[in-house]
Structure 1
Amino acid sequence: MRLCISRILAIGLIATMSSAARSKPAIAEAPQNSNAHSLQVQASLTQSCPPGDVEDSDGDFARNLSQFTADLCFFQQSFKEGNLTWILQVIVNTRKPDAFFWVVPHDDEDAAFDSAVYAVKTYGGTVVAVHTKGERNNGNQDPNRNFDLGSGKKCTAQTAPSPKYTAEVMKFRPKDAPIVALHTNMGGGSTISILKPESHNAIAFVSSSPMHSISPNNTLVFVASVLPPDKDPLLAGFVKRLNATGIHVLYEVVSITKSNCSLSHYAALKGIKDYINIEVLDGDVNAQKAMVDKVIKLLPQPK
């Protein structure tokens, strides 16, 4: 059954609506069709957000509907590169569109999407979320192993070079905006752990007073540089400040010969200084939002 959320709810949940109305938005039922499991959310018609529908079969937008007040608008863009069709879903804070660039590469990480909505609503900027209908990958391609440096060669984890994918994601980055990637991990045997820096050719900087979270060892940030910490004093100072707020840090030392085409490697090799990846245990959205609050205070602020 196809569901549609009216445009007036999608762009506003209008300021005059009561809190009770916000918590129970009206959803209208549309006729059945072949797209029986898709949820279409009407995008707003503003200069920042072109008209169109957002495919929401995994419920990301429906789950966050109450957050989409008049200052947020959203739309999606699809394109084809090689054998893959990509869908990018974009959320813009129309009051502060140029503040920060939030990226959610994995569509199976619901807490990361929810945190991105919170972050863009609270601090401004633009979100790009890769939509793969609730799956981690697009076919055989991990979206976070698909950031192309333009050499014409593919990384080990790529099915093919991806200059178009990279350009389409990065074109939404406001000029010089810090990049904040949002991810979750499965804990337990996950390689995303402050105890396993070797899994990422990284150096672990452990906070002496870790912030509260469901799984402190899996709650951390990644930073990346082509230089080791003793040769990159600005990033090393940033790491020290993160540790002081209770955040563990994995510092990746990146080289072009060993790039895995992740966004962190791409940022380091392109000389993008203000990049950070916030990781929490799957489902720990409260910790991720708290990390966003801590990290934003340490990043360059929009003018």
Structure 2
Amino acid sequence: MNRAWTTLFGLLAALHAVPAVSAQTAAPPREIVSGVDPLQMGTDDFIRLADPALWTDLKVTRIEFRDDRAFWRLYRIVNLRKPTGPLWFVPHDNENAAFEAAVYAVRSYGGEVVAVEEARSVSGPDSRMNGDVAYGRSIDPNRNFRDDTPAYADAVLADLGSPARMIVALHTNEAGYDSKESTCGPPPPAYTGRGEISVLLCSDLYTPRRSVSGRWPFDDTDSVAIVSYLGDRAPMSGFCARPLADADMNIMFEHVVTSDGSLSNYALFRGLPYVNFETQDRGVLSEGLGDSRSRLLAMIGTAMARCAPIEGIALRVPERQRRGKHKKGR
């Protein structure tokens, strides 16, 4: 065989080998998306909502990926009939009433839910934190909107749209007031908490505006809207601030100078329409879940009517609550 043929066969062999080498060295997919049947899910959030009528026209997908040192598992729930509504965000897997409120809200107002599942164990106790990390400490899903972990924010906000849909974050928390953490003065008698979320709390970060009437759901000082505003502006410059104040809501104005990694800060610096609703966690029994869920849905209804009018199904609350038969305060 002459030199020309030898050279040609060598080139052909080299070209033929390239796909095999590429297949061996190609990076694995960064994100795995799979459809799930919510009625067959074994996690507690879905078990509590195992009603076929509730899931009609709702499509659920599971999204799994690794970003930096953490593995993440999210659920995206889309209203197929009304996909253009808000983005309902539930960052903490142990905030059960928040998840329920998000599912009810997406049915009524459309859009989609993005909920974070504690990724380390689908059958173990729910956790606020994501402990499925390659090294280091567990990660708070609502403190991971950072420039050095872009895949997480990209996954949560993947279907935000242009112009951006309204983002509504939903939370339940432990009793929030701790007088040691507040500059507002003495606490109500025998009122103790963790000092994190309460309209009684004043600090360099938060300025409260308490409901004047104190009507349900704001008879509870831990039921609040959190509105963020930039450090060089006035509190009422925050998204939806004036309409929520005119509705006599409990509001905590968050003074933001630098980002703390939360979605509220991330949205603020990017000019995204965002509001956060919080209420006290009242446990996983039906009465406590129903109370917390109803309070969140009442705040959602006000925001939808005043900040982003969207045609939806009326979200009715129990008759005794609508009549305001709750005691004021705690």
| Partners of 1:298 and 1:214 in 2: CA distance | 17
Report whether the alignment pairs 1:136 with 2:128: yes
SS where residue 65 of structure 1 aligns?
Answer: coil
For the structure 1 residues 216 and 233, does the alpha-carbon distance in structure 2 shift closer, same or farther, using more than 3 Å as the test? Answer: closer
Question: What is the letter of the counterpart of residue 267 of structure 1?
Answer: A
Q: Which string of whole-angstrom CA distances, capped at 9 and with x for unpartnered residues, describes residues 176-195 of structure 1?
A: 11100000011141310111
Q: Which string of whole-angstrom CA distances, capped at 9 and with x for unpartnered residues, describes residues 7-41 of structure 1?
A: xxxxxxxxxxxxxxxxxxxxxxxxxxxxxxxxxxx
Aligned positions of 1:271-290 closer than 5 A: 271-272=271-272, 274-283=273-282, 284-290=292-298
Aligned positions of 1:123-162 closer than 5 A: 123-132=109-118, 133=122, 134-139=126-131, 140-148=138-146, 150=147, 161-162=148-149
Residue 198 (structure 2) aligns with: 193
Report whether the alignment pairs 1:211 with 2:215: yes
| Partners of 2:37 and 2:68 in 1: CA distance | 24
- Unmatched tracts of structure 1, length 5 or more: 1-48, 151-160
For the structure 1 residues 125 and 205, does the alpha-carbon distance in structure 2 shift closer, same or farther, using more than 3 Å as the test? Answer: same
Report whether the alignment pairs 1:171 with 2:173: no
Q: Which string of whole-angstrom CA distances, capped at 9 and with x for unpartnered residues, describes residues 272-295 of structure 1?
A: 1x2100000113111111111111
| Partners of 1:123 and 1:52 in 2: CA distance | 22
SS where residue 172 of structure 1 aligns?
Answer: coil
Question: What is the letter of the counterpart of residue 146 of structure 1?
Answer: N
Aligned positions of 1:34-183 closer than 5 A: 51-52=35-36, 56-66=41-51, 68-132=54-118, 133=122, 134-139=126-131, 140-148=138-146, 150=147, 161-175=148-162, 176-183=164-171
Q: Which string of whole-angstrom CA distances, capped at 9 and with x for unpartnered residues, describes residues 124-145 of structure 1?
A: 0010000114211101100001
* 1:228 to partner: Cα distance: 5.4
- Unmatched tracts of structure 2, length 5 or more: 1-32, 132-137, 176-191, 283-291, 312-330
| Partners of 1:182 and 1:69 in 2: CA distance | 20
Residue 255 (structure 2) aligns with: 253
| Partners of 2:297 and 2:266 in 1: CA distance | 25
TM-score, normalised with respect to structure 2: 0.66
Question: What is the letter of the counterpart of residue 45 of structure 2?
Answer: D
Residue 298 (structure 1) aligns with: 306
Residue 235 (structure 1) aligns with: 238
Matched-pair contact (CA < 8 Å) for 1:88–1:131: yes
Matched-pair contact (CA < 8 Å) for 2:218–2:224: no
For the structure 1 residues 215 and 105, does the alpha-carbon distance in structure 2 shift closer, same or farther, using more than 3 Å as the test? Answer: farther
SS where residue 61 of structure 2 aligns?
Answer: strand
For the structure 1 residues 183 and 217, does the alpha-carbon distance in structure 2 shift closer, same or farther, using more than 3 Å as the test? Answer: same
Matched-pair contact (CA < 8 Å) for 1:221–1:250: yes
Residue 11 (structure 1) aligns with: none
* 1:233 to partner: Cα distance: 5.2
Residue 20 (structure 1) aligns with: none
Q: Give the RMSD, CA atoms, in angstroms.
A: 2.4
* 1:227 to partner: Cα distance: 4.4
SS where residue 198 of structure 2 aligns?
Answer: coil
Matched-pair contact (CA < 8 Å) for 2:34–2:61: yes
Equivalences, count: 238
TM-score, normalised with respect to structure 1: 0.72
2:229 is aligned, of 197, 200, 225, to 225
- Identify which range, 292-301 or 87-96, moves more after superposition: 292-301
Q: Which string of whole-angstrom CA distances, capped at 9 and with x for unpartnered residues, describes residues 159-205 of structure 1?
A: xx31111111111324311100000011141310111131x702211
For the structure 1 residues 69 and 218, does the alpha-carbon distance in structure 2 shift closer, same or farther, using more than 3 Å as the test? Answer: same
Matched-pair contact (CA < 8 Å) for 1:207–1:244: no
SS where residue 218 of structure 1 aligns?
Answer: coil
Matched-pair contact (CA < 8 Å) for 1:98–1:302: no
* 1:300 to partner: Cα distance: 2.4
| Partners of 1:215 and 1:207 in 2: CA distance | 8
* 1:52 to partner: Cα distance: 4.1
| Partners of 1:302 and 1:287 in 2: CA distance | 19
Which structure's CA Rg is the greater one? 2
